[in-house]
């Protein structure tokens, strides 16, 4: 599974970052990518609207019975997968994230209802939401519905978020919500995807 | 295995059949061809339509990159688009990874045999030629079809 494209969509649905990693990938114009980002933003909201009735009923009854706590905070944990992107030899500075890898534990997914994963005949598309509303999207060159692959993608995108926090948000020349033009972010993201 | 609902859309963007199960334990629960579901049907159609146009752009130029599944954190939608413009959509839980065989069976063995081969059933579900997209309300009410769908999908609901 190779990563074809990574997109970052800001909280209002605008595309702030787009990068292709596969040389012979089908080229979309930058305008088409902007439309794609806006469409995805809308679909994430729609997907949570059409949650099946039986699930809505089940959610309500369990909230009443109090058997399992429902709510965004109890979103299931995504398992941590291996050493994806454990690049830097010990001692090399890695932003604010200590340790050889950015994180080593299972983490909660904030995306409790929205769109997560789309497969087509040729690609699969993974969406990772952050609590602040930024969406990280990865397009891979193989269709897969495997739960493991989804978890791996989620880990990759969370690491991308870590890189975003370090190299974009701490860049004094970066204006929030604007397109990302940070060289360090490019470099580190390239290295991260190269490891996969 | 859990199925939540089953939808068919025709080439005029109308929902021509919907079946939603509300109780996992009881496969005869839920609604069939309900009017209440129409907004949901439009949202579902819109979601699949937009993702389909996205996937078309992302795929290689020489082949059509058809969409297969859409997963959210709670459910998964399986999609079969036929060349005649019909869409078969099945909503299931996240454990079902690929229901394309089920959808193919629903189309080729049930829809074709009980609706297409039925001379009394309309060929096209649009009321008239100048009907607007998404405005149609005609549904599949063929008893053979309803029975066959119930018999085939019923055991898979819980």
**Are B47 and A43 in contact, with CB atoms under 8 Å apart?**
yes
> Residue A127: what are its φ and ψ, rounded to 5°?
-120, 130
**ipTM of predicted assembly, 2 dp:** 0.84
For A140, name the nearest residue in chain B, comparing CA atoms only: B58
| pLDDT for residue B127 | 75
Reported as a single tens digit per residue, the pLDDT across B54-107 is 888 888 777 788 999 999 988 999 999 999 999 999 999 988 888 999 999 999
Interface-testing mutation among A47, A140, A142, with chain B (most B C-beta atoms within 10 A): A47
pTM of model > 0.90: no
Strand partners, A138: A6, A126
Tell me, yes or no, if A37 comes closer than 8 A to chain B by beta carbon. Answer: no
CB-based contact A146 B97, cutoff 8 Å: yes
Say yes or no: B112 contacts chain A, CB-CB below 8 A.
Answer: no
CA-to-CA separations, A196 to A8, A12, B5, B52, B71, in angstroms, rounded:
19, 30, 37, 28, 23
Q: Which residues from chain A sit within 8 angstroms of residue B76, using beta carbons?
A: 145
Residue B23 has what pLDDT? 83
B92 touches chain A (CB under 8 A): no
Tell me which chain B residue has its CA closest to the CA of residue A144. Answer: B97
| Phi and psi torsions of A87, nearest 5° | -95, -55
Of A47, A112, A117, the CB nearest to B47: A47
For residues A104 and A87, the answer to whether their CB atoms sit within 8 Å is no
Contact A145 B71 (CB under 8 A): yes
| pLDDT tens-digit profile, chain A (196 residues) | 788 899 999 999 999 999 988 887 777 888 999 999 999 999 988 988 888 888 888 777 655 444 444 444 456 688 776 565 555 544 455 555 555 677 777 888 888 888 999 999 988 999 999 999 999 999 998 888 888 888 889 988 998 998 999 899 999 999 988 999 999 999 989 988 888 7
């Amino acid at each position: 599974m190779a990563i074809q494209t990574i997109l970052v969509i800001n909280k209002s649905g605008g595309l702030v970052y787009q990068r292709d990693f596969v040389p012979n990938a089908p080229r979309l114009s930058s305008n088409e990518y902007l439309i794609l980002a806006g469409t995805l933003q809308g679909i994430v909201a729609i997907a949570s609207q059409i949650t099946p009735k039986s699930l809505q009923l089940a959610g309500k009854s369990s909230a009443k019975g109090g058997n399992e706590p429902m709510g965004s905070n109890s979103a299931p944990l995504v398992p941590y997968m291996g050493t994806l992107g454990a690049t830097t030899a010990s001692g090399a500075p890695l932003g604010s994230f200590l340790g050889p890898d950015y994180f080593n534990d299972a983490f909660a997914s904030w995306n409790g209802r929205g769109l997560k994963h789309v497969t087509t005949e040729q690609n699969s598309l993974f969406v990772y939401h952050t609590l602040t509303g930024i969406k990280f999207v990865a397009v891979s060159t193989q269709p897969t519905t495997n739960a493991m692959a989804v978890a791996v993608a989620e880990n990759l995108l969370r690491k991308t978020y870590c890189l975003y926090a370090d190299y974009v948000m701490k860049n004094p020349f970066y204006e929030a919500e604007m397109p990302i033009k940070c060289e360090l972010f490019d470099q580190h993201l390239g290295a991260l995807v190269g490891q996969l | 295995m859990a199925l939540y609902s089953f939808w068919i859309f025709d080439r005029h963007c109308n929902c021509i059949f919907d079946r939603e199960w509300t109780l996992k334990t009881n496969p005869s629960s839920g609604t069939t061809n309900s009017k209440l579901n129409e907004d949901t049907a439009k949202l579902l159609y819109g979601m699949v339509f937009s993702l389909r146009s996205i996937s078309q752009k992302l795929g290689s130029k020489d082949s059509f990159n058809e969409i297969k599944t859409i997963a959210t954190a709670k459910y998964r939608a399986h999609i079969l688009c036929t060349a005649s413009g019909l869409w078969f959509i099945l909503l299931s839980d996240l454990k079902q990874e690929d229901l394309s065989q089920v959808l193919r069976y629903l189309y080729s063995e049930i829809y074709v045999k009980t609706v297409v081969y039925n001379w009394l059933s309309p060929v096209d579900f649009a009321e008239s030629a100048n009907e607007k997209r998404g405005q149609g309300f005609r549904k599949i009410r063929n008893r053979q079809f309803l029975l066959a769908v119930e018999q085939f999908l019923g055991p898979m609901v819980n």
